[in-house]
Amino acid sequence: MKILVTGAAGFIGFHSVQRLAASGHEIIGIDNLNDYYDVRLKYARLALIERHSNFRFIKLNLADREGMAKLFREEPFDVVLHLGAQAGVRYSIENPFAYIDSNITGTLTVLEGCRKSGVKHLIYASSSSVYGANTKQPFSVEDRVDLPVSLYAATKKSNELMCQTYAHLYQLRCTGLRFFTVYGPWGRPDMAYFKFAEAILEGRPIDIYNSGEMSRDFTYVDDVVNAIESIVRSEPTNPEGSVPHRVYNLGNNKPEGLSRLVDLLELRLGIQAKKNLLPMQPGDVRSTFADISAAQRDFGYRPRTSLEEGIYRFGSWYLKYRQDGAKKEP
């Protein structure tokens, strides 16, 4: 298959390209390589995936309407894996327009490209953030998600509605993936586990929000990529005449406390963290917990990586990444 991966130099995009290219698919990856976090990490990821002869990279902004339209006119894709987005809950409070440009306009350019070029399947990233202020747990894809607590969450809910509309109007097959706190090697430096590791090694205190009374359904990146690969290979399961749009939770189905995460990082790094206890931050939620039954039923999703094993792997990678000087300018 010929697959477009947006956000190819991002965390999940990088791992997805590695897997899909290794499986023999022809991959074109796009990314604008913005400086939301250290671009040297993005270039380091890109250097690895460019070793695949069946991968080609194009630097392109999703909000560039003409550039995106030209890409879809010139490249006939079978599948689009749309992972490119402006990430981060707290940053959406500081820079809201970045989220509209990337997550709303950017997703619209992808949808229009798919519609006009006859793409068979659009797989796109949503987020557990859409559950917002919901108190019923575990979070089910059948739950209403009308109470977002951040603009980031609102844009991801909007993406789901946009895809539903295009599926209905144009019979474009769409699959939305609500990711639950994905972590692992080559991860995002703005996420808690990565920031904690950096601070612990540098002897700085780590910020613990809500005094640590928080839990997350931490999901190891390889488990997510296994699901993505299965969905890429999957055949439509929609009954005759139904709208070809499905949304799934991709979590570990096991919430873990923030203090547990810190304990495991301390164990792997061999250093005790200095903790700075802070109140709850705007846009944050106390707990996430994924009901993954629909993903299990439809494509055999089975997360297999415990937090202990996942943090050990991340810690091993991070220590080597720092030691090898991979943070040098590309």
Known catalytic residues are: 152
Could you give the maximum distance between any two Cα atoms of the chain, in Å?
60
- Residue 9 φ/ψ region, left for φ over 0, alpha for ψ in the -120 to 50 degree band, beta for the rest: alpha
Cα 193 from Cα 186, distance rounded (Å) = 12
Distance CA 123, CA 105 (A): 17
**Could you tell me the end-to-end alpha-carbon distance of the chain, in angstroms, rounded to an integer?**
31
- Residue 234's closest CA among 142, 125, 110, 123? 123
Quick count: other Cβ atoms within 10 Å of Cβ 64?
16
Length of the chain: 330
Phi, psi of 117, deg, nearest 5: -105, 0
